[in-house]
Amino acid sequence: MVTAMVSLLTGRPVRPRVAMTGEISLSGIVLPVGGIKEKVLGAKRAGIQEVILPSENEPNVQEDLPAHMLEGMQVHFVRTAEQALEIALGKFEKAVRPIPGGREEEVRPIVGPVH
């Protein structure tokens, strides 16, 4: 849902053949989920080439999915929503906005850790 909303708000389309799963906390941390084997195999059957998964689910992939099952797929493990968004939407350019006096100010990302 976060990726869909950021895509809509920024006008940046999600890259083709990318799938993802995980839950995102209010502070932007990607939390683990269950059923990783089934989700990854379903994505492969659907022709997905890249999968974004929570980093805490990496042991599930290593234990439940032999290398031959992952052939033709790239699996990304992420800890933050910002990392997932960079993979799904592409690298974010540094955004700036003009401020009085002819200077520019960096614009903070829409999604990221709360400080």
| Total residue length of the chain | 115
DSSP labels, 56-111 = GGHHHHHHH--GGGGTT-EEEEESBHHHHHHHHH-PPPPPEEEETTTEEEEPPPSS
pLDDT tens track for 49-91: 999 999 999 999 999 999 999 999 999 999 999 999 999 998 7
How does pLDDT run across 30-43, given as a tens digit for each residue? Answer: 999 999 999 999 99
CATH number at residue 61: 3.30.230.10
* 55 in a structural domain: yes
The mean pLDDT value for 98-115 works out to 64
115 falls within a domain: no
In a domain, 111, yes or no: no
Instruction: Determine, yes or no, domain membership for 12.
Output: yes
Q: Is residue 114 part of a domain?
A: no
Domain that includes residue 49, residue range:
2-106
Question: In this structure, is residue 112 part of a structural domain?
Answer: no
Number of domains the chain is built from: 1
**Helix (H) / strand (E) containing 30:** strand 30-31
The lowest-confidence range among 11-20, 66-75, 83-92, 102-111 is 102-111
